Amino acid sequence: MTILLTVFPLLISTRDDSVIPKVQATNVIEANNTVASSSIINSIVTKIVKVDDIEVAYKVFGKGEPLFLIPGFSQTMDMWDPIVLHTLSSNHTIIIFDNRGIGDTTAGSKAPSIQQFANDTAALIDELGFKIPVDILGLSMGGFIAQELTLLHPEKVDRLIILASSCGGKESLPPQVSSEVMTSMVSGNATIDTFASTLFPNEWIREHTDYIQRNLVLPMDKVSKESLKLQFEANSKWTGTCNRLSTITKPTLVISGTEDITSPPVNSVRIAEKIPGAWLVQIKGGGHGVMFQYPQQFASILETFLSVN
């Protein structure tokens, strides 16, 4: 049975009111908290470890059970919201890293693919020496990787969190953005305004212009056009997991914003329907960047799921 909840960012409806606690609503970005948390995360030294044919750049911080965060298309490990990271690190050892060919991780000799990224992550888990299984969170394309990781290496995954993603293939709804916007993202020519339009609803953008200009960084500034092309090709060639998800037995949280145009929320519904016992949380008014819109509430939902399961 799928547990369905809708939040904004306080609880509106649920099939089981005992599952997710009500949290205080706020629509204001806490700028001081963002700056302070970002400073803490930035001060952590980036380490390099040899994994198969690549050298992986990563950071480890916090305390508690390990939680690996897999970034989305074109994104480096710097993409994660600092408030979310700071909050989660109070009870979890957080591991963030750059995927193959992105940021400070080398491209290696093997062709990029979603399955290869999943194998890279599995090898990284082993190389860092954490006791398995570990918790996994994947955002967007990182959600593709997280699904493949769980299917290919189930012994390494304890709890699975899939954020703003899909199971790919013909059963999933493609991004509802213009061809011009998509081309600019893939070619590395997107502007801040274009990038923001893929992450946030228009009304939220109008109300948070200062936040966007101050905090949003184009991932294309840190990633080569060749790397973007190869990663996009890996996405395009991925045949998806829709017909395999029913074999996943791990506790799973599927979370999305109701206004996500990059990975429409129906895709999260389909994932949750296919994974036995999955939780489905939809954040009203949230876009693809829902984590940045409501960081405290987002972190609270994750903490609840991780503490219950």
Question: What is the per-residue burial (b if ≥16 Cβ within 10 Å, else e) of 22-35?
Answer: ebeeeeebeeeebe
Query: What is the model's pLDDT at position 3?
Result: 47
Domain spans in the chain, listed from the N-terminal domain onward: 3-16+27-308
Partners of 306 in the beta sheet? none
- Taking alpha carbons only, the member of 186, 172, 182, 176 closest to residue 240 is 172
Distance CA 38, CA 281 (A): 26
Task: Look at phi and psi of residue 101 and say left if phi exceeds 0, alpha if psi is from -120 to 50, else beta.
Answer: left
Which residues in 98-108 are b (16+ Cβ under 10 Å) and which e? bbbbbbbbbbb
Output the pLDDT for position 7: 45
C-alpha triplet 173, 178, 179: angle, nearest 5°: 95
pLDDT score of 216: 87
Q: Are 76 and 19 in contact (CB under 8 A)?
A: no
- Residue 179 and residue 20: Cα distance in Å, rounded? 38
Percent helix, strand and coil across the chain, each to the nearest 5: 40, 20, 40
Q: Do the beta carbons of residue 124 and residue 56 sit within 8 Å?
A: yes
d(CA 309, CA 306): 6
pLDDT of residue 17: 37
Rounded to whole angstroms, the Cα distance separating 39 from 76 reads 17
SS3 category, 281: strand
- For residue 38, the SS3 value is helix
* Predicted local distance difference test score (pLDDT) of residue 240: 98
Evaluated on CA atoms 108, 105, 267, 3, the torsion sign reads positive
Distance CA 127, CA 123 (A): 6
Write down the architecture of domain 3-16+27-308 according to CATH: 3-Layer(aba) Sandwich (3.40)
CB distance 158 to 130 below 8 Å: no
User: pLDDT per position in the chain (309 positions), as tens?
Assistant: 444 554 433 332 333 333 443 333 334 344 445 555 566 677 899 999 999 999 999 999 999 999 999 999 989 999 999 999 999 999 999 999 999 999 999 999 999 999 999 999 999 999 999 999 999 999 999 999 999 999 999 999 999 999 999 999 999 999 999 999 989 988 888 899 999 999 999 999 999 999 998 888 887 777 888 999 999 999 999 999 999 999 999 999 999 999 999 999 999 999 999 999 999 999 999 999 999 999 999 999 999 999 997
Classify residue 100 by its DSSP letter.
T
